[in-house]
Structure 1
Amino acid sequence: MSADAFDRIAAVDAADPHGVLGPHVEEGRLVVRVFRPEAMSVVLRPDDPGLKPRVMARVHPGGIFQASFEGVERGFPYRLEVRSSRGTTVGRDAYAFPASLGEGELDPAADGVAREYPRRLGAHVGEAGGVVGTAFAVWAPGARRVSVVGDFNRWDGRRHAMRRTRHGIWEIFVPEVRAGATYKYEIKTASGLVLMKSDPVAFAAELRPSHASKVAASSFTWSDAEWMEARRGADPHARPMSIYEVHLGSWRRKRAAGKAEGAGAWLTYRELADELVAYVVSLGFTHVELLPVMEHPFDGSWGYQVTGYFAPTSRFGAPDDFRYFVDRCHAAGLGVLLDWAPAHFPKDAFALGRFDGGPLYEHEDPRRGEHREWRTFVFDYGKKEVRNFLVASALHWLEAFHVDGLRVDAVASMLYLDYGAKHADEWEPNEFGGRENLDAVLFLRELSDVVHRELPGVLLCAEESTTWPGVTRPTYVGGLGFDFKWNMGWMHDTLDYFALDPIFRAFHHTKITFGLMYAFSERFLLPLSHDEVVHLKRALLSKMPGDRWKQHANLRSLYAMMWAHPGKKLLFMGGELGQWREWDHDRALDWGLLEEEDHAGLSRLVRDLNGLYRRYEALWELDESPAGFTWIDANDAIQSVASFVRFPRQPDGSEEPCPKRIPKGIFVVFVGNFTPLLRYGYRVGVPRRCRYLEVLNTDARSYGGSGVGNLGSVACEAVASHGFEQSIVLTLPPLGGLFLVPEMDEDPVEGEA
């Protein structure tokens, strides 16, 4: 072995330390070399009692020791007894083990087989030659040298320098390292700078402010096989979806002496599996959506500045504890969605940014690689390895944790090259001169195709706030392939309308009707999300005008309009309580509000709206089809009343517009009075001649209202109105919403409609 090879080992600057260290057959003898710069002496102790221990000779002043076995032409298991100023240790030699990644495993890990990515890279506990240990692998093509360091080698980068393989992947098997060990990668860049980085594919991590990765191995046994099988055969578009959006760290907290109410310790995943799941189910929601639970260093980012794309945050427990939470959700009939942030990542020195010394995960052009407003890096979607990393992350959450869907954050920022740019020199057009980020479009389509091919029944929702066409259209017709798009236009218009004093609403009536002009152009989800109750936007209840009673009544009517409107539903936690203050990520919700009758009434209303929504297919079955909706009167701006009908699919499966004939299914009539004036004798046309049941009235006393209504039902009259041949006359409660359904004891006589 050349002196130059020894010098590179001693300088920790070799790309293939296995070529020098460990056992090698040379000239008919077995030579074993180890690099232990801290050692005063090293003894090699073979496992075979027929081979005597050897005191290894120091062959390089930098700490390389060597022993020879004449006539031995194959390796054998052994241990190293190392004596240093810190004492004596005995352990296996990492360089005595073959490559943890075979040649056939390198291409799938790098070339686009996303499902294989986390199975090859990261830290995996396993066996090699009958010895338990952990195989480490990381992508760092620009590095001169990579070492794995951790509590198992005193964070000494000289101990376990890794071998470079094809595609810029570095690997090593470290014996006797088990689950729970903490580690990082020490990376020597092309310029000679040494960086300490957490593992991009770590499956667990330390709690902030520490940020080392942790070796993880799951021993969890799932009990949701029936749920998972049903999911594979389900059509999520034709099912009810009412989502409770949650930030786990501030939904509820433990009581703590000496701390302000709601400022105690976090609940764990397992505690949340008991308390949160039971609560969400009691309110009738179909899904719970969690703000990002991927590991992140800064609480104030709410999880959106991710540093661990494969690791559940350690704030609430271990990865198997999160699996327990999901399992309990499924046992209770509750789907689980996660917010996922592939649009950008933080610049923390220990994480993805400048990972191997240069732009690796981020685009090299700062005009495309940095988000100035958010002060974060932007992924380089043009690299197949980066796309593979992100798609693999998505699949990991959906497969390893049985999550039912992902809400992809900040899609608009991905689609436009000039997003957030204030000056022309801050962005560069694409190759065709446009502002569209074609690489991001490629990634989003690839994500949709892979997820839907590999995991049928799983949902992808896009937070996309622009008029980009075809967000929820299939990729084969040029769409992005998402299942649902957040309807941000509906959200802003509706909140703006209900924030107005009712005296002005007549002049802004189109804010609650315009959404139906485009409601069927995409598959929409109606969000009243966390973003609308922070940053001085005020809580939902505080946005409402008038005195306390009117504020509650306004919010009740807003919820009624939302649940009646086409589109799936999402409500951020606290919305059901009627929080007065903005959401604070460091403090629990104001649960004491439920002791006040009007707040308790609001909670009951949300529960009953969900129950009504799930009971009547008309409120969700044809969300994406104009056949499921017709206005009764969209133009009563003077009285600020809106009325419409929601229809189900016909028994024969058709979507023929029901107003053209007598509808056979149970449709739902909604009438909303958005002023504080009580209106008597308000006539609305209806599709069917029969009695109508008032199945929900937001002004009911049980919800905190005044109790004005229609005594539970109303007769139909043979008086034509609003294009129908029959009508009903209603008493409209102040700031109230009514849901009515036809009484179906008897079928109508053909021709009576």
Structure 2
Amino acid sequence: MTRPFRPTPPDTAPARGATHDSAAGRSGHAATPRPPATGAASPGGGTAGATFAARPSGLRDPAAAPGRTGAPAGPPRTERAQGSHGVRAAAPLSDEDRGRLLDGAHHDPHGLLGAHPVRGGLLLRVLRPYAKGVTVLAKGLRAELPAEGDGLFAGVLPLRTVPDYELLVDYGDDTVTVRDPYRFLPALGELDLHLFGEGRHEQLWQALGARIMEHQGVTGTRFTVWAPNAQGVRVVGNFNYWDGTGFPMRSLGSSGVWELFLPGLGEGELYKFEITRPDGSRTLRADPMARRTECPPATASVVETSHYRWTDADWMARRGARPVHEAPFSVYEVHLPSWRPGLTYRQLAAQLPAYVKDLGFTHVEFMPVAEHPFGGSWGYQVTGFYAPTARMGTPDDFRFLIDALHRAGIGVLMDWVPAHFPRDDWALAEFDGRPLYEPQDPARAAHPDWGTLEFDYGRTEVRNFLVANAVYWCEEFHIDGLRVDAVASMLYLDYSREDGGWTPNAHGGRENLDAVAFLQEMNATVYRRCPGVVTIAEESTAWDGVTRATHHPGPGGFGGLGFGLKWNMGWMHDSLGYVSKDPVHRKYHHGEMTFSMIYAYSENYVLPISHDEVVHGKRALVSKMPGDWWQQRAGHRAYLGFMWAHPGKQLLFMGQEFAQGAEWAESHGPDWWLLDSSYEAEPDHRGVRDLVRELNRHYAATPALWERDTDPAGFSWIDGDASEDNVFPFLRFAADGTPLISVTNFSPVVRRAYRLGVPGHLPSWREVLNTDDPRYGGSGVANPGLLTAEPTPWNGRATSLAPVLPPLATIWLRPS
């Protein structure tokens, strides 16, 4: 494979991961970052990895630096030109064009470089810094180009048409043959640019970024980047030792997109974009559309193409057979880097699917996997929106993990973070020297809580960037659902802002109309393009219509946001508040547990016990429970039994399935040692995990628990006011009317012969689940055999049962 630059590096490069900012002066030489010496770190974190003689970069006068390649500045030597197959001297570039080209501030380098018909022949100009000579090779032609100084070589060849030529570049101690990037037409079509300008390019990752392709019969990599405010853009990478002098990109007009096709360049190459800002300074930026990155803390983008062959066709074909709100849906939330610290994606694929399948969860939810520089953000401060984090492997390795989960019959959800992005000066913030992805107004752009920047949802190209990103994860990685983070912070202009710190919308309201339109477009696009995918909102307010279709208007004058499901933050907050109280006080807070049924059918809900509830001093779920260790575990089990029976889907964060007592820490993950058989307390934890397995097994086999989650006819209180007893008995109904009784006793006393009104046409019932079972660590109070309904009116029903209620426990009863 030919390379677009010689393998001889000059002196030094910016430090690993650094951003190169400098004034692009007009002193007659290009102010460029110097490529690294032997073994030096690249701006992206890569190293040169070879031993070469160091050479100074960017100097016009070779006498000032021995070893500088190229010819002295000044008029070309026409005698030399005339002796090279009839090559004539070319008219020199104007001072303005020359200065802008060498300073990386020219919008049309292809107009100056490459081959162009002129009077009497073909003008060919090449920019090859550090070269001693450049020879043109074509069929029947070998012509040396006269030097113009500063790495420029040019001559008029005795040709009428542009041949298929190559360049033989002489660096003194090495000679390489390369194709000229400036002989190629734009590799990005007008339709792509039109769709992007309209904000309708639903597969934007195929148009922008680095893409390996065949162009005009030559294989290479097309680089494209949106930077409408830039004076100029150059590609830098390990292939040119981070010196972009010879690799300026061309502007594709009003689209704001810059493009350059580099022949012979393939996958695995590190790169960034060197952008000349409006003020003439320069900044080195990672590709916003990069599909692969270096592993943090290195920050370079990586040229990537997928070679993965999926094996989940059956899963993909049937995943949307049943609407998600009418299907079993229990989710195991995972922080991949810390679930089993140190494992790669492929190693996780050997363990995670089996574990999740054994516990019976229908889905896993990954906390954000898009690339992020700071691991302590847990992935919620994204810089690489199109790249899975390199911490655990390549994008194809990530595909392998998802494929393995699908083969195990497990759906994959992913946290998606379109609400904000960090301020790192090598990423999106003021990307081309001015606010681009963020709003122009600094007060509007700044996120008040997280020190990050919000997206400008009103800008067409930014909205396209995000909508296409949602589609990208679903189409390219077969993701089955997107849990959208921090929706409330997007919807409200005054979110976490004081009076006077925000500007009302055009109607004088506090709603962010641009964000509403973006979320509607994102949901509509994902559901249209990706059958079987579900979108889930983490939305903590009472916004009306989060899970209503976008074409259905609501009381506020907005259409629905179009999500499939919404996290029920109210249920989570109220129920955890209740169980944290001592049982003697719970009767005064009974309404906190029953209140959820007042609004349970206003949206399609997920009941989340997520990572947010077990960090930052909130304590693990079992540690929220009052009492001694036995009571804490009993309360934990009773709560899970109540949660799995309550209308809505379930989500449980890793570690809570076995009653880990410590808060989660991303540095070490779950306390797996608690399940070690050598640990004396392991039955306590294994018992809770066994209960979770049984909850999921019964749940999946009982349509009453999921088939009518969004239908009020699927639920009925038996007694919603048993506050004195701390008891919550209710009925769930399947679509065919088959019932299940769930009774939770949140008091530490046994309640014998606790009478419950039941449907009169069902004479006998059987206990199918009891969280007080000794197998789970309970005391063994149970209802063996059949329970017979008696003609004793109770709770407004003509017949009733009188089961025993174990202490701090949930029981489920089904008709026999």
* Superposition map of 1:33-182 within 5 A: 33-46=125-138, 48=139, 50-51=140-141, 53-59=142-148, 61-70=149-158, 72-84=159-171, 87-166=174-253, 167-182=255-270
State the alpha-carbon separation in 1 of the partners of residues 785 and 226 from structure 2: 66
**Matched residue SS, 1:739:** strand
SS of the aligned residue for 2:772 comes to: coil
**Alignment partners' CA distance in 2, 1:86 and 1:560:** 75
8 Å CA contact 1:295, 1:307 repeated in 2: yes
Counterpart of 1:453 in structure 2 is 528
Match of 2:753 among 675, 678, 681: 681
Contact 2:104/2:276, CA 8 A, preserved across alignment: no
Kindly indicate whether the alpha-carbon contact (under 8 Å) linking 1:145 and 1:188 is maintained by their aligned counterparts in 2.
yes
Distance 1:712 1:410, change over 3 A: farther
Cα displacement (A) at 1:80: 2.1
Structure 1 position 737, deviation (Å): 0.4
2:409 is aligned with 1:409:
no
Name the SS of the counterpart of 2:115 in structure 1.
strand
Within the candidate set 614, 618, 633, 2:719 is matched to: 633
Is 1:669 the equivalent of 2:741? yes
The 1-side partners of 2:478 and 2:322 are apart by: 15
- What is the aligned counterpart of 2:618 among 529, 533, 537? 537
| SS of corresponding position for 1:535 | coil
Kept after mapping to 2: 8 A contact 1:10/1:35: no
Over aligned residues, Cα RMSD in angstroms? Answer: 1.2
Match 1:343 to one of 396, 419, 434: 419
Partner of 1:472: 547
Q: Who is 1:223 aligned against?
A: 311
**Offset from partner CA, 1:663-701 (integer Å, 9 cap, x none):** xx4311001100101111100011133210100000000
1:357 aligned partner, one-letter code: G
1:713, distance to aligned residue in structure 2 (A): 2.9
Structure 2 residue aligned with 1:734: 807
SS of the residue 1:431 aligns to? coil
**2:325 matched residue in structure 1:** 237
Distance 2:102 2:200 in 1: 37
| Alignment correspondent of 2:41 | none
Distance apart, 1:232 and its partner CA: 4.4
The answer to which of 395-404 and 151-160 deviates more is 151-160
Deviation at 1:64, TM superposition (A): 1.5
Is 2:392 aligned against 1:316? yes
1:134-533 mapped onto 2 (5 Å cutoff):
134-166=221-253, 167-253=255-341, 266-421=342-497, 423-477=498-552, 478-533=559-614
Task: Return the alpha-carbon distance in structure 1 between the equivalents of residues 595 and 393 of structure 2.
Answer: 45
Task: Indicate how the Cα distance of structure 1 residues 354 and 712 shifts in structure 2: closer, same or farther if over 3 A, else same.
Answer: farther
Tell me the secondary structure at the aligned position of residue 810 of structure 2.
strand
For 1:86 and 1:552, the matched residues in 2 are separated by 74
Shift of 1:6: 2.9
Cα displacement (A) at 1:85: 6.5
Task: State the partner residue of 1:31.
Answer: 123
Query: After superposition, what is the alpha-carbon deviation per residue over 1:271-323, rounded to whole angstroms, capped at 9, x for unaligned?
Result: 11110110000000000000000000000000010001110110111001111
| Cα displacement (A) at 1:11 | 2.7
- Aligned partners of 2:190 and 2:580: how far apart in 1? 63
Higher strand share: 1
- On the 8 A contact 2:114/2:124 being kept in 1, the answer is yes
CA distance in 2, matches of 1:380, 1:475: 21
The separation in 1 between residues aligned to 2:322 and 2:218, in whole angstroms, is: 44
Cα distance change, pair 444–151 in 1 and its aligned pair in 2 (3 A): same
1:111-162 per-position Cα deviation (integer Å, ceiling 9, x unaligned):
2223231110011101123322100101000000011111111111212110
Q: What is the 5 A alignment of 1:520-599?
A: 520-594=601-675, 595=677, 596-599=682-685
- Alpha-carbon deviation of 1:102? 2.3
- Secondary structure at the counterpart of residue 505 of structure 1: helix
How far off its partner does 1:425 sit?
2.8
Distance between the aligned counterparts of 1:560 and 1:224, measured in 2? 33
Between stretches 114-123 and 640-649, larger displacement belongs to: 114-123
| Superposed displacement of residue 434, structure 1 | 1.1
CA contact (8 A) 1:695 1:712 kept: no
Counting only pairs closer than 5 Å after superposition, residues 595-634 of structure 1 correspond to structure 2 as 595=677, 596-634=682-720
Contact 1:188-1:194 at 8 Å conserved across structures: yes
C-alpha deviation, 1:487, in angstroms: 0.2
Once the 2 structures are TM-superposed, how far is the Cα of residue 43 of structure 1 from its aligned partner?
1.9
Task: Tell me how far 1:353 sits from its aligned partner.
Answer: 0.6
Using the TM superposition, give the Cα deviation of residue 86 of structure 1 relative to its aligned residue in structure 2, in angstroms: 7.0
d(CA) in 2 for partners of 1:435 and 1:467? 14
How far 1:108 sits from its partner (Å)? Answer: 1.7
Deviations along 1:536-583, one digit per CA (max 9) or x if unpaired, are 111111111100000000000010110010001000000111111111
Structure 2: 5+ residue runs without aligned partners?
1-90, 553-558
Is contact 1:108-1:116 (8 Å) kept? no
Report the Cα offset of residue 81 of structure 1.
2.5
Three-state SS of the structure 2 residue aligned to 1:377 is: coil
Q: Does 1:9 align with 2:101?
A: yes
Note if contact 1:525-1:569 (Cα within 8 Å) is conserved in structure 2.
yes
Report the alpha carbon displacement of residue 591 of structure 1 after superposing the two structures with TM: 1.0
Paired letter, 1:95: Y
DSSP 3-state at the match of 1:584: coil
Q: Secondary structure at the match of 1:426?
A: coil
1:313-338 deviation line (CA, Å, top 9, x unaligned): 10111001111111111111100000
Secondary structure of the residue aligned to 2:657 is coil
Q: Which amino acid aligns with 2:622?
A: L
Kept in 1, the 8 Å contact 2:203–2:471? The answer is no
Following superposition, the deviation at residue 730 of structure 1 comes to: 0.8
1:720 aligns with 2:801: no
Question: Which whole-Å deviations, capped at 9, do the CAs of 1:187-230 have from their partners, x for residues lacking one?
Answer: 00101110100000000000011010000001111111111111
Tell me the amino acid that sits aligned with residue 357 of structure 2: V
The share of aligned pairs that are identical, in percent, is 51
Residues 347-371 of structure 1, C-alpha deviation per residue, up to 9 Å, x if partnerless? Answer: 0111111000011000111222111
The question of whether the paired residues in 2 share the 8 Å contact of 1:232 and 1:455 is answered with: no
- Measured in 1, the distance between the counterparts of 2:415 and 2:120 equals 60
Would the aligned equivalents of 1:109 and 1:116 in 2 still touch at CA under 8 Å? no
Residue 372 of structure 1 and its aligned partner are, at CA, apart by 2.5
Matched residues in 2 for 1:712 and 1:547: separation?
A: 32
**Structure-2 separation of matches of 1:567 and 1:721:** 28
The CA distance in 1 between the partners of 2:189 and 2:607, in whole Å, is 48
SS at match of 2:741: strand
User: How many residues in Structure 1 have an aligned counterpart in Structure 2?
Assistant: 711
Aligned equivalents of 2:586 and 2:785: distance in 1?
A: 29
Any idea what SS the aligned residue of 1:677 has? coil
Compute the TM-score of the two structures, normalised by the length of structure 2. Answer: 0.86
